[in-house]
Homo-oligomer: A and B are copies of this chain.
């Protein structure tokens, strides 16, 4: 049995690393907004997301969606319509972010009031 304090410190270091793992996936100016947009509607087309998020360019949206796909948070489906449309939805794994998204939304509202004033 090692020292209690050291054990505790190791435990905390692990937790810190875990938070960083999450943030690695969610970092970037647009990722959470994209997830949030898809999450709100269940399924969402490329151009809809483009429209949901103020200021994002199609280049960035395309790039970030690819990364989210690689990280298995988002699923891409091409629909056989004219013109072709592409639908994005959260994977089961992506769905597990709902609580975090929801908390971040609430916190963001409170924080803005706190800092900006109103």
Contact = CB atoms under 8 A, between A and B. Distances in A.
A104 B99 CA distance: 10
Interface string A46-61: 0000001110000000
A23 B53 CA distance: 14
> Chain A contact residues: over half helix, strand or loop, or mixed?
helix
A62 interface: no
26 contacts: A9-B52, A12-B52, A16-B33, A16-B53, A17-B54, A17-B108, A18-B105, A18-B106, A18-B112, A19-B108, A21-B111, A21-B112, A23-B26, A23-B33, A23-B104, A23-B108, A27-B27, A27-B29, A71-B115, A96-B107, A96-B110, A99-B103, A100-B100, A100-B103, A100-B104, A100-B107
